[in-house]
Structure 1
């Protein structure tokens, strides 16, 4: 059923770059790895009518009919699909897509994807965030339409992906409503914080191995909106966006806000941070300004990024 009603025209795109293996393990709970690939361009449908042509990092894809058996191999895309009202069209999701609770989670792995295993769900659309193991070509060989939406680097990338998924699934209006809601909530969160916080230093922790995220990353862009200074920006080897810091470097930077994105995966908390050598004297620890974030919310680029922005605002207000 995949090949008869859908066609895809692919343009050449650069190979996706995965995160270093160690960081990928840290982000396993997040379900998506960052990419330096080009972001998906806005799609061409305005009213949900089919056929429709949408554009991902793997090129243009023309869908002759509204997809009814979608397989999502990206937790962020899964959250987007359900948020825009396309949940009933989702047949299966990867093993890290744990939100919303009614998402049809399977043992499909986005880290070691298998085209034959995906094909067993008879998908008429597969949404991916990376091209691990050449999965796009493997699915193309089976005439299974694919839409590659790599890790967002900016909020605009998130909005464009929501728009693209809205067009691809026949939920363009709902996608626009979600985009507007997320934009309004983030703007309100930023507005709720006093300008006195501008210049405050922040340390974002991806794992107890002290991997962090610079302002050039998607999550780092949230801190920039609040006017915060990200200590990871000046770290050695920060060019990849996810440098591994040292305890000495963090202590020397004396962050005034610490955001833990490893509370679930690694059981880190304000208490465990305070017990680390040299961390007890950090301003963030002494002033109790440590945000214990949900790993997934703090690492995915779906609609719940508004939840994260609101939690950062609350931490700054507190």
Structure 2
């Protein structure tokens, strides 16, 4: 599948890999690290570091965002070419999709964090004695919270990680509580202009599920991938009340361009101002900016239900 579908990879249901981490050099209840090893239970197994990592290479846009959110940005020496946020992240030509162990080693990292074990990179880095923490695509919200906690442990930023998670939880809870029951409101989530979409079982689909929204694509996923392709006729027949565009920046899509598609000007979502342009990056990641995404969905649901 072509490069335009790259964002889909980020939400494919991979093996769960987080949720438990310890630091033998951390005072209980304080989150303040002292000298001593730290241990993280990641998707690639138990990872023990001699102390908080000081030279980190991130090969995942989501882990890059997490590291900077918890205040560990100063410990990051290089990030991959897709890590576009925050701006101060030390972006390089390193690839998370086609990783090169020697190129990564050139940054002399004491820790590499990534989401996928592409081309056996975890084993390749292991042969070079470089520790790796794998944090795969989240399948539920708690995965995101757990991964932030893991990175907090690995970097000596446990207290900061806890604060980030608590803030995320509070904002998400408030956004969900701010809307009436959205049952009966249907939606279409556009990943690409050739109408690849998501189903309710995906991570993003669960986000919409928080508001009781009904996904018009659920019945179309015959292969069970979670990412079916709909026809224009199927979308027109379903006539969703809301259309969420996850290709607004990458493909230049907007309420205006949607209305110009053949037959789409008659859709309820178009006629009633229910076409919502999402931030492509946030909609394809599961990091600390999730509250921004969920608040945008909340605002759209409130407007549609009014």
| Coordinate RMSD, CA, aligned | 1.6
Partner of 1:7: none
TM (normalized to structure 1)? 0.89
Aligned to 1:43, the other structure's residue is in SS state strand
* 2:143 matches 1:157: yes
CA distance in 2, matches of 1:257, 1:27: 24
Partner of 1:174: 160
Bigger CA drift: 220-229 or 48-57?
Answer: 48-57
Q: Given that residues 201 and 230 in structure 1 are in contact (C-alpha distance below 8 angstroms), is that contact kept between their aligned partners in structure 2?
A: yes
Q: Deviations over 1:33-70 (max 9, x none)?
A: 63422332321236344311101111110011111100
Aligned to 2:112, the other structure's residue is in SS state strand
Give the one of 264, 276, 289 matched to 2:261: 276
CA distance in 2, matches of 1:211, 1:172: 38
Partner of 1:59: 45
Partner of 1:205: 190
CA distance in 2, matches of 1:237, 1:74: 30
Extract unaligned runs of 5+ from structure 1.
1-20
Bigger CA drift: 43-52 or 236-245?
Answer: 43-52
Measure how far apart 1:182 and its partner are: 0.6
CA distance in 2, matches of 1:118, 1:150: 19
* 2:273 matches 1:297: no
Partner of 2:17: 39
Measure how far apart 1:120 and its partner are: 0.4
Distance 1:31 1:73, change over 3 A: farther
Q: Given that residues 127 and 149 in structure 1 are in contact (C-alpha distance below 8 angstroms), is that contact kept between their aligned partners in structure 2?
A: yes
Bigger CA drift: 245-254 or 116-125?
Answer: 245-254
Bigger CA drift: 272-281 or 284-293?
Answer: 272-281
Corresponding pairs, count? 295
Aligned to 2:266, the other structure's residue is in SS state coil
Partner of 2:57: 71
CA distance in 2, matches of 1:78, 1:260: 24
Measure how far apart 1:80 and its partner are: 0.4
CA distance in 2, matches of 1:32, 1:92: 20
Measure how far apart 1:238 and its partner are: 5.5
Partner of 2:233: 248
Partner of 2:199: 214
Give the one of 253, 258, 262 matched to 2:247: 262
Measure how far apart 1:163 and its partner are: 0.8
Aligned to 1:202, the other structure's residue is in SS state strand
Q: Given that residues 11 and 203 in structure 2 are in contact (C-alpha distance below 8 angstroms), is that contact kept between their aligned partners in structure 1?
A: no
CA distance in 1, matches of 2:133, 2:296: 31
CA distance in 1, matches of 2:148, 2:77: 19
* 2:232 matches 1:232: no
Aligned to 2:77, the other structure's residue is in SS state strand
Extract unaligned runs of 5+ from structure 2.
none
